[in-house]
Amino acid sequence: MSTKQTLLNRLQDRTAIVGIVGLGYVGLPLAVEFAKAGFNVIGVDVSQAKVSQLNAGSSYIPDISTEELQPLVQNGKLRATTSYEELRAADTISICVPTPLRKTKDPDMTYVIEAVEGIASICHDGMLLVLESTTYPGTTDELVVPRLQKDGFIAGENVFIAFSPERIDPGNKKYMVRNTPKVIGGVTPDCTEVTTALYGAAIETIVPVSSSSAAEMVKLLENTFRMVNIGLVNEMALMCDKLGVNVWEVINAAASKPFGFMPFYPGPGLGGHCIPIDPHYLSWKLKTLNYTARFIELASEINTSMPHVVIDKITNALNDACKSVRGSNIVVLGVAYKRDIDDVRESPALDVISLLQHRGANVTFHDPYVSSIRLENEQIMVASAYEDTLLSQADCVVIITDHTVYNWQHIINQAELVIDTRNALAKYKGNARVVSL
């Protein structure tokens, strides 16, 4: 029996052992789905705290409840470790580690390389390796394949290698791992077939493409599409402001068109682990080919300027009240990068708070999901308790993240001045003077 058929049989009868490297927002939900599908799953993470918490059956991310996780751990279907050595028995390994940008906006592949080298040390005939971490087109062929083939493995023959981009949307209650279509691009057709068999056991819809590079490009197109359109609507907000037109009214009216238009909304800047970062992977790759990704560069310029636009709004609103930013008590509501989650990665709130501090403001924040934040100067800021005096004694309240648990009527009644960057108060009337983005 061929190596491929042996692995396909193990995937079919659920005797294959599935490995996951990286147990964060991407890796943990994926591990849970594979365990639910009947596989024994071993997760690896560098964080001993995460490993200990998972092995205790306790979840540390909002998208996976402890009630969902605990039975899988208790039944022995899912366990975690910090050692790659325990993946030696795994038949498949999916890499779900971060791929951040350096300050120079070029890719930092450190985590991916460390994961691949860790796997290479325990790789065996018949193993499937899938990279899920978002990266530039060509990564799988240029970084993953050579590191395995130098040990005598041949992709598509005695090992199988593919790229399948993660599509996790933290906080999304409708589309999660199981019902979000999965794009798969193998290094060879046999690699695609084996990867399809693995993910098809846990995910409803599989979308195979012709190569790993095509799959890598799919994810970058998805997030570049969002980044560019958000950049467009952010610039539209700036233009509407100069024209004295309400941008939210314009967008809502345009969205009534049943074809040819998709609404995007302005905000205080981009945040999260994907949209602010992923398009720059594509831009960097194209620069190596002497091509400038002009839409990406322009959209990035506009989006990264939005925290400064928010500061200007705050400054002008305080000036109208005969107050200066320096010495004013400013409360930021919401520091997560999007509503109803606890993730502050790349959140524009961090920039807004730092900029206000540089101007001498006394800044505090509240977020129902975030207890503390680390600012650019390594300062740790602890969240303030949410109470009437937090709002009533503030010279200005700034809504950065529109968490649904906030009582907007209460906020507009208690505050004196509110800068609303999310249009959260559009339907409410109260005592506060409200300035929209």
Taking alpha carbons only, the member of 340, 300, 315 closest to residue 396 is 315
Helix residue ranges, H only, 75-211:
110-120, 139, 145-149, 189-200
Backbone angles phi, psi at 263, to 5 degrees: -75, 135
Structure tokens, 194: 């084996």
Instruction: Say whether pTM exceeds 0.85.
Output: yes
Residue ranges covered by each domain of the chain: 3-219, 278-436
User: Which are the contacts of 425, defined by CB distance < 8 A and separation ≥ 6?
Assistant: 399, 408, 411, 412, 418, 432, 434
Extract the tokens encoding 45.
Answer: 């993470």
Q: What angle do CA 41, 43, 49 make, to 5 degrees?
A: 140
At position 118, the amino acid (one-letter code) is G
- Contacting residues for 148 by C-beta, under 8 A, at least 6 apart: 116, 119, 120, 123, 129, 155, 159, 161
The terminus-to-terminus CA distance of the chain in angstroms comes to 64
Is 274 one of the catalytic residues?
Answer: yes
Pick the CATH number of 278-436 from 3.20.20.140, 3.40.50.720, 3.90.1150.10, 3.40.50.300: 3.40.50.720
Q: Please report, for the chain, how many H helices and E strands are present, in that order.
A: 15, 15
Dist. CA 179–CA 191, nearest whole Å: 23
Q: Which residues contact 371 (CB under 8 A, 6 or more apart)?
A: 382, 383
Per-residue CA distances from 422 to 5, 230, 249, 412 (Å): 53, 13, 13, 14
Helices of type H across 110-164:
110-120, 139, 145-149
Alpha helices in 58-166 (DSSP H): 66-74, 110-120, 139, 145-149
Is the Cβ–Cβ distance between 341 and 369 less than 8 Å? Answer: yes
Q: Residue 95's pLDDT is what?
A: 98
Q: What is d(CA 3, CA 168) in angstroms, rounded to the nearest whole number?
A: 32
Q: Could you give the angle at the alpha carbon of 190 between the alpha carbons of 185 and 42, nearest 5°? A: 70
Q: Which residues contact 416 (CB under 8 A, 6 or more apart)?
A: 321, 392, 394, 395, 396, 431, 432, 433
- Check for a shared fold between 3-219 and 278-436: yes
- What is the DSSP code (8-state) at residue 273? S
CATH of domain 3-219: 3.40.50.720
Given CA atoms 302, 305, 309, 312 in this order, what sign does their dihedral have?
Answer: negative
Q: What is the pLDDT along the chain (437 residues), one digit of tens a residue?
A: 799 999 999 999 999 999 999 999 999 999 999 999 999 999 999 999 999 999 999 999 989 999 999 999 999 999 999 999 999 999 999 999 999 888 777 889 999 999 999 999 999 999 999 999 999 999 999 999 999 988 789 999 999 999 999 998 888 889 999 999 999 999 999 999 999 999 999 999 999 999 999 999 999 999 999 999 999 999 999 999 999 999 999 999 999 999 999 999 999 998 887 888 888 889 999 999 999 999 999 999 999 999 999 999 999 999 999 999 999 999 999 999 999 999 998 899 999 999 999 999 999 999 999 999 998 878 899 999 999 999 999 999 999 999 999 999 999 999 999 999 999 999 999 989 999 98
The dihedral sign for the CA sequence 53, 371, 349, 354? negative
Distance between CA atoms of residues 89 and 260, nearest Å: 51
Active-site position among 240, 274, 322, 396: 274
